[in-house]
Every structure is written in structure tokens, then in C-alpha cells.
Amino acid sequence: MPTNFTRRQALAIPAGIALGSLAGRAAMAADPVKVGLVAALSGQSAKSGEGITRGLTIAIDEINARGGVLGGRMLELVRRDDESNPAKGQTAARELIDKEGAVILFGGIDSPVSQAIVPVVNGAHVPFMGVWAAATNITRNGANPNYVFRVSAVDVLVDRALIKHAMSTFSAKTPGLMLVNNGWGESNLAGLTAAAQAAGLKLAGAEKFDDKDVDMTPQLQRLRDAGADTVILVGNAAPGAQVVKSLQRSAWTVPVVSHWGISGGRFPELAGSWAGKVHFVQTYSFFGTQNDVGKRVLAALMAKYPDIKGPGDVTPPVGVANAYDAMQLTALALAKAGSTDGDKLREGFLGVENYQGLIKNYTKPFTDENHDALNENDYIMVRYNGDQIEPITG
């Protein structure tokens, strides 16, 4: 190694350092913007995580094809499996923020997981976007400033829609509730009780079940004996299927109106021949006349995923559609923010004006008072026909 530099070497070294530094900055400018997803990618709700992944992926492909965000930076999706476990979801959220440098986190189907992540993101000043979990207090969490946004249903509004559907379609007068025994069930117990009261209905009762319950006929029998004329179901696919199988076992042909958790797994397979009897809520259907965004997204899904051959194969549609619109709104928020800084990105969301999306034409989707982009006017009722989810007509 030479110990004395020539004049040429003395000039070349700082020049090299300067060039290296510039190259480094150029590389930084091209660094991808990481968006995190914490969702159930395995277990009974694995299909929900797959649907959300697909919706985000189609949107990210479109955004990157347009040149990315923030002057040419590509979006990159980083996924973590929460296994429907709040503790695992919380750990995954911290890891995505601290180690991966995710600028925003997207959530999955499980309200208890999202509820566990809310204090983490509010503490870290990193925006969180709910695209499925509907518990009211996920967005209405009391934090100020609040970094949690949602393009999904809200229990308190869904509950009104479920009661309304039970009344209009099945002439319900005394609905009975079958609720999963967790925070999501609690959220809906409050919402459904209030919705029934507002509609002038008296509830026959409210029963709870656990995810691993084998037989739910005792709970159903209590509702039956209390005079329930409709069952309102709140649960995910596997326990929801157990409720339906227990109804079938009891030969009780009562109408069932369900929240959308059942669409996050293999409900038609698990519930068997009675699966099609259940009416449930979604925010979007790929059936029927589609707007330009719908046509484009369906074509992209069919091109990218060989198992999608038509609208009925987009399952669960709610995960795909919510995630797609949420990702596009995030790109608009990043553009408004001009930065990946959490505080600026939060302001960016509040600054989004208009977006013609898949689910609807969004106008000022987020405000200081309202972090939920969808409302009861955006819900539709559907049912399973085989494996496919079809809107209820007539």
C-alpha cells in the first residue's frame, strides 16, 4: 500500500468519494417505498389474507407501471402472517416498522389483531390502513392524532344494514344474535343492540361461541326457545360454518343474516349444503355491470392469477376490492405528503380530495372527524352459490 499519494491520486480520491456519495443518493432516491401487510395468511381465515394480497398487488402493479410514487420510487409489499393472533400481529407490526421501515401498515380480517396494532401505530406515528376488520373502535380509537384509517365496513354501520336486511327480506321481528366470543363479537353486540332498538325490534337473545366450539346447538336452541325468527351471525368462516351445521343438525330452517367474516375462509366447503342459505354483507361484487376501474381490475386479476376465470372466482371480493382502493388512496396520500414521514403521510390522507375507485367515487374520503372511507350506502348483500359469491337480487 503506498503511503504517499501523487497529486493525481490526491484529486482522484475525494472525487471518487463525491461520486460515490452521489451514486448513493441516486440509489436512495430509487429505494422502494415499503408498505407492510399484517394479516391472516394461514389458518381458518387464510383466504382473506390472500384476497387482500391480490388487491394490494394489482394496485401496486398499476402504480409502479405509472412510475411509482414520490418521483419514481417503486412500491414494495412486505407481508407478515399474524395467524389471527393479536400478540403475533403486534410483534409483526413492530418488526415491519422498526426493521423493514414500512411507511404504512395494512391490516387483515381479524378485529382483535387490528385492535392490538392500533396503539403501536399511534405510538410510532405510522399510518395504519384497515381493509377488512370492522370493529368500530379500530378507527374510532380516541387517539389524537389518530393514524388509523380504513377502507372497509364499520360494525356500527354494518349492524344497521344487517338489521335492515333481516326486516326487509325476512320480515324479522325478534332476531337472535350468534356472536363470536371476542372483541369483534363485543363490538357487534353493542352495534346490533343499538340498531335493533333504533328499528323498534326486540332481540330474542344474544349467544356467544368460541372459534373451536364443535357443537352450537345448545346456543341455537336457547335462541329458538326465546322465539328468534332470524339469526344474525358474527363470526369467521370456520366457526360460522359450525353455526350453520348446527342449524342443519337441529333442522331449524331459520333465515341467517351474517356479517362478512364468513367470506374470509372456506365457508362453503365447511358449512356444506346449507352454506347458500346465509345472506351476508360485502362492499363490492365483481358481478354485474362494472365501471372502468372494475373492468380494469378484473382483467388484471384474470391475467395475473390463473385460478381467476371470471367474477365468481374473485374470492373474497371484499378483501380484493377494499385493498385495491385503499392502496390507490395511499398512493394519492403519498403524493399529497411528498414524503414517507408518518406525520406528513397522515396529513396526506386527510388532504386527498377525489378518487374514482373500484367501490365508489370517493370525495374527501378522510377528514379529522371521520377516518372511515366507506359507509352504509356502500354495502351490498350477497350469498354463496357453490364457491362463488353472488349478489342477492329481488
Partner 1 sequence: MLATALISGLGLGSIYGLIALGFTLTFAVSGTVNFAQGSSVMLGAVVCHALAIGVHWPMLLAVPAALLACAIWGLVVERIAVRPFVARGTNSWLMATVALGIVLDNVVMVLFGKEPRALPSPLADDPWVIGKIGIFPLQVLIPVVGLGLAALVHLGMRRTGLGLKLRAAVENRDAASLMSINVTLLIALTYAAAALLAGIGGILVAPLYNVAYDMGTLFGIKAFAVAILGGLTNPWGVVVAGLAYGLVEACATTWLGSSSTQIVTFTTVIAVLALAPSGLFGSRTKVRV
Rounded to a whole number of angstroms, the minimum distance from the CB of residue 45 to partner 1 is 9
Does 212 participate in binding partner 1 (rule CB under 8 A)? yes
Does 136 participate in binding partner 1 (rule CB under 8 A)? no
The single residue among 85, 169, 193, 248 that binds partner 1, judged by CB under 8 A, is 248
Count other Cβ atoms within 10 Å, centred on residue 214.
8
Q: What is the DSSP letter of 295?
A: H
Does 109 participate in binding partner 1 (rule CB under 8 A)? no
Grid-cell match 325490534, residue found: 201
* Alpha carbon distance 39, 301 (integer Å): 20
Which set of grid coordinates corresponds to residue 170? Answer: 325476512
Burial class (CB in 10 A: 0-12, 13-18, 19+), 393: exposed
Does 343 participate in binding partner 1 (rule CB under 8 A)? no
Which set of grid coordinates corresponds to residue 393? Answer: 337480487
Does 44 participate in binding partner 1 (rule CB under 8 A)? yes
Nearer to partner 1, 111 or 182 (CB): 182
Does 80 participate in binding partner 1 (rule CB under 8 A)? no
Whether 53 contacts 109, CB under 8 Å:
no
* Alpha carbon distance 299, 137 (integer Å): 36
Which residues, 6 or more positions from 218, have their beta carbon under 8 angstroms from its beta carbon? Answer: none
Does 193 participate in binding partner 1 (rule CB under 8 A)? no
Query: What amino acid occupies position 244?
Result: V
Burial class (CB in 10 A: 0-12, 13-18, 19+), 65: exposed
The single residue among 249, 295, 304, 364 that binds partner 1, judged by CB under 8 A, is 249
Nearer to partner 1, 263 or 340 (CB): 263
* Alpha carbon distance 286, 261 (integer Å): 18
The single residue among 6, 27, 214, 369 that binds partner 1, judged by CB under 8 A, is 214
Q: Interacting stretch for partner 1, rule CB under 8 A, among 41-49, 293-301, 339-347, 357-365?
A: 41-49
Nearer to partner 1, 292 or 307 (CB): 307
Rounded to a whole number of angstroms, the minimum distance from the CB of residue 186 to partner 1 is 12
Nearer to partner 1, 97 or 234 (CB): 234
Q: Restricting to residues 268-327, which ones interact with partner 1 according to CB under 8 A?
A: 269-270, 272-273
Does 379 participate in binding partner 1 (rule CB under 8 A)? no
* Alpha carbon distance 56, 201 (integer Å): 40
The single residue among 54, 79, 160, 208 that binds partner 1, judged by CB under 8 A, is 208
Burial class (CB in 10 A: 0-12, 13-18, 19+), 2: exposed
Q: Interacting stretch for partner 1, rule CB under 8 A, among 118-126, 127-135, 241-249, 342-350?
A: 241-249
Measuring CA to CA, how many Å separate 165 from each of 32, 48, 224, 325? Answer: 45, 24, 20, 26
Nearer to partner 1, 147 or 267 (CB): 267
Rounded to a whole number of angstroms, the minimum distance from the CB of residue 248 to partner 1 is 7
Nearer to partner 1, 64 or 248 (CB): 248
* Alpha carbon distance 64, 359 (integer Å): 21
Nearer to partner 1, 132 or 287 (CB): 132
The single residue among 91, 217, 290, 370 that binds partner 1, judged by CB under 8 A, is 217
Helices (H), 30-85: 46-65
Element (H, E) at 380: strand 380-385
Interacting residue ranges for partner 1, rule: CB under 8 A? 42-44, 46-47, 83, 181, 207-210, 212-215, 217-219, 221-222, 224-225, 238, 241-242, 245, 248-252, 265-266, 269-270, 272-273
